[in-house]
């Protein structure tokens, strides 16, 4: 059985739930002729790509032991409750992410493993979240969601002349030339995901009102239809098809996964409290999975070259400034503290995920989440060895509970390739990959 063009048009619609639609997103649509078995019928894991900037203090990140019997290191201590769900990967490198431009390139090259062309206009390759979205994201309202805690480009020095500014503000490229914008405003994200309206009652009222609008348009169109020529009937058909698609979506919202979801209150103005903002974004990421609104997400925990201070955990230094620690042990400790904090917030998110029943197990169990950075030692700006951990066992597709040390430098692309394959994406090669990792 094959997915028809009709399917495409539905995807187009559902994309349109968002506040704005940019045409390049259409590239993320499923190619014609993909067998349905690969997309809808087979169980599809949830994928997530969680990025933190400025690498990690590796000696406080990497577990001392390898194999299945290991203790998590200082930074990752909060992940201990999820030890059976996680895979720590050591000795990974991302050669294509290397350049003198560093911060300007590392976010977007993390998931592409392709070195961008040195032009001001974006030119790279699609990132793995987008490759996955084409295959497993087509039957959810959004093939993928891209979120962050800060909008757009990083601060000035994250933009490097020669490469332009397009690789630093997002993790996701839909295709070679289309960086995807990120949403960092929790309120906007909420309205985009769950519809306009500040309360459940208002959302219900508005959904009902939308139904009435569609009825009204239907009436107007059928009056027109009697008087029009065939060429105009085409336009009319467009209208009526649009009406039907939106009706179907309204029904889905009223009766589908979303109906069973208890939504929190709509966020108001963006908080200046980073901790609050970060946790709120994680909550929305979780809700998007839970409501089956999307299966693929990328999320930047903090912007590249963030100069934010972390006073709330007792680190008064600016994040990027202290990341240039000059090997001063005291500074490295404070940097590790920031990194440990990011892991802790992530762990809270994992705990919530694990508490949600899903199929045979729980949502975490059935997911594949990549947690890491595309920099190793922030003082050296290098791309080896990269801090990389996989969470979740992808409904049995991943072993979990181990620390794999490749022993020698291995392309990060191999891990990406493996994740895609396990998620059911037919792919043999990616960036500088040399083959899938069977141990994972």
Partner 1 sequence: MTGSHRILARAALAVLATVGFAASSAAADAPAAAGPLALVEARCAACHNSTDWAGGVAFDTLSPDNLHGDVEVWEETVRKLRGRLMPPPGEPQPTQREIDSLVGWLETRLDAAAAAAPPDPGYVGLHRLNRNEYAREIRRILDLDVDVTTLLPRDVFSEGFDNQAATLRMSPSFLDQYITAARTVARQAIGRTDAKSSSHEYRAPSSLDQSKHVDGLPLGTRGGFWVDHHFPADGEYVFSIREFFAMGAGYVTKVDHAHTVILTIDGRRVFQQTYGGPDDLKAVDQRQAIAADEIQNRFNQIRVPVQAGVRRIGVSFIQRSFAQSDSQLQPIAMLPEMERVPRIPGFTVAGPFDVTGLGDTPSRRRIFSCQPASAAEEPACARRILADLAAAAFRRPVNEEDLAAPLSFYTRARETRDFEAGIEGGLTAILSSTRFLLRSAPALTGDEAQPLTDLELATRLGFFLWSTGPDQRLIELATAGRLQDERVLAGEVARMLADPRATALVDNFAFQWLNVARMGNFQVDPTLYPDFDHNLRAALREEIRLFLGDTLRADRSVLDLLRSDTTFLNERLAQHYRVRNVRGDQFRPVRLTDVNRHGLLGKGALLMATSYGNRTSPVLRGVWVMDTLFANPPYAPPPGVEQFPENEPGKSMGTVRERLESHRALKSCNFCHGVIDPLGFALENFDVTGAWRDRDLDANEPIDAHGRLSSGVEVTGPAELARAILARPDTFVQAFTEKLMTYALGRPLRAQDMPALRRIVREAAGQEYRLGSLVRGIVASDAFRKRQPPEEGEPDGTAHVAHAGAGR
Q: Tell me if 206 contacts partner 1 by CB under 8 A.
A: yes
The least distance separating partner 1 from the CB of residue 307, rounded to whole angstroms, comes to: 5
The residue within the footprint of partner 1, chosen from 6, 31, 121, 438 (CB under 8 A), is 121
Q: Which is nearer to partner 1, 47 or 315 (CB)?
A: 315
Q: Tell me if 330 contacts partner 1 by CB under 8 A.
A: no
Q: Quick one: three-class SS letters along the chain?
A: CECCHHHHHHHHHHHCCCCCCCHHHHHHCCCCCCEHHHHHHCCCCEEEEEECCCCCCHHHCCCCCCECCCCCCCCCHHHHHHHHHEEEEEEEECHHHCCCCHHHCHHHHHCCCCCCCCCCCCCCCCCHHHHHHHHHCCCCCECCEEEECCCCCCCHHHCECCCECCCCCCCCECCCCCECCCECCHHHHHHHHHCCCCCHHHHHHHHHHHHHHHHHHHHHHHHHHCCCCHHHHHHHHHHHHHHHHHHHHHHHHHHCHHHHCCCCCCCCCCCCCHHHHHHHHHHHHHHHHHCCCECEEEEECCCCCCCCEEHHHCEEEEHHHHHCCCCCHHHHHHHHHHHHHHHHHHHHHHHHHHCCEECCEECCCCEEEEEECCCCCCCCCCCCCCCEEEECCHHHCCCCCEEEEEEEEEEHHHHHHHHHHHCCCCCCCCCCCCCCCCCC
Stretch that binds partner 1, among 138-146, 181-189, 383-391, 426-434 (CB under 8 A): 181-189
The least distance separating partner 1 from the CB of residue 338, rounded to whole angstroms, comes to: 12
Binding residues among 292-311 for partner 1 as defined by CB under 8 A: 307, 309, 311
The least distance separating partner 1 from the CB of residue 143, rounded to whole angstroms, comes to: 14
The least distance separating partner 1 from the CB of residue 352, rounded to whole angstroms, comes to: 25
Q: Which is nearer to partner 1, 229 or 407 (CB)?
A: 229
The least distance separating partner 1 from the CB of residue 130, rounded to whole angstroms, comes to: 19
Q: Which is nearer to partner 1, 230 or 426 (CB)?
A: 230
Q: Which is nearer to partner 1, 4 or 434 (CB)?
A: 4
Q: Tell me if 333 contacts partner 1 by CB under 8 A.
A: no
The residue within the footprint of partner 1, chosen from 8, 12, 70, 421 (CB under 8 A), is 12
The least distance separating partner 1 from the CB of residue 241, rounded to whole angstroms, comes to: 7
Q: Which is nearer to partner 1, 154 or 400 (CB)?
A: 154
Binding residues among 123-162 for partner 1 as defined by CB under 8 A: 151-153, 155-157, 159, 161-162
Binding residues among 238-297 for partner 1 as defined by CB under 8 A: 238-239, 241-243, 245-246, 266, 268-270, 272
Number of residues forming the site for partner 1 (CB under 8 A): 73
């Amino acid at each position: 059985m094959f997915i028809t063009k009709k399917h495409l048009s539905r995807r187009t619609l559902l994309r349109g739930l968002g506040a704005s639609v940019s045409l390049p997103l259409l590239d993320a649509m499923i190619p014609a002729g993909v067998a349905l078995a690969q997309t809808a019928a087979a169980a599809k894991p949830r994928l997530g790509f969680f990025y933190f900037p400025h690498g990690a203090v590796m000696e406080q990140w990497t577990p001392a032991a390898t194999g299945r019997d290991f203790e998590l290191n200082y930074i990752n201590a909060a992940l201990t409750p999820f030890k059976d769900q996680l895979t720590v990967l050591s000795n990974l490198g991302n050669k294509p992410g290397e350049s003198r431009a560093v911060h300007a390139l590392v976010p977007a090259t993390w998931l592409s493993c392709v070195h961008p062309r040195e032009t001001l206009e974006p030119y790279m390759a699609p990132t793995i979240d987008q490759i996955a979205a084409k295959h497993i994201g087509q039957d959810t309202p959004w093939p993928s969601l891209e979120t962050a805690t800060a909008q757009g480009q990083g601060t000035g020095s994250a933009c490097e002349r020669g490469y332009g500014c397009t690789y630093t503000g997002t993790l996701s490229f839909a295709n070679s030339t289309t960086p995807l914008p990120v949403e960092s405003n929790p309120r906007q994200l909420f309205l985009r995901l769950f519809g306009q309206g500040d309360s459940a009652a208002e959302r219900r009222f508005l959904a009902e009102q939308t139904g009435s609008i569609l009825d009204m348009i239907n009436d107007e169109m059928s009056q027109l239809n009697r008087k029009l020529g065939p060429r105009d009937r085409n336009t009319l058909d467009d209208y009526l098809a649009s009406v039907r698609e939106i009706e179907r979506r309204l029904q889905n919202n009223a009766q589908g996964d979303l109906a069973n979801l208890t939504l929190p209150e709509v966020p108001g103005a963006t908080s200046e409290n980073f901790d609050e903002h970060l946790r709120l974004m994680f909550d929305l990421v979780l809700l998007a999975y839970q409501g089956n609104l999307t299966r693929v997400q990328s999320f930047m925990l903090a912007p590249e070259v963030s100069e934010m201070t972390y006073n709330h955990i007792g680190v008064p230094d600016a994040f990027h400034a202290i990341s240039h620690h000059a090997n001063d042990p005291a500074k490295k400790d404070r940097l590790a503290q920031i990194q440990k904090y990011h892991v802790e917030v992530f762990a809270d998110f994992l705990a919530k995920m694990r508490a949600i029943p899903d199929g045979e197990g729980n949502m975490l169990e059935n997911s594949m989440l990549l947690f890491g950075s595309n920099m190793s030692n922030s003082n050296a700006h290098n791309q080896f060895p990269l801090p990389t951990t996989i969470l979740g066992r992808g409904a049995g597709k991943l072993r979990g509970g181990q620390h794999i040390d490749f022993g020698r430098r291995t392309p990060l692309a191999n891990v990406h390739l493996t994740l895609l394959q396990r998620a059911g994406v037919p792919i043999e090669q990616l960036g500088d990959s040399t083959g899938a990792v069977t141990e994972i």
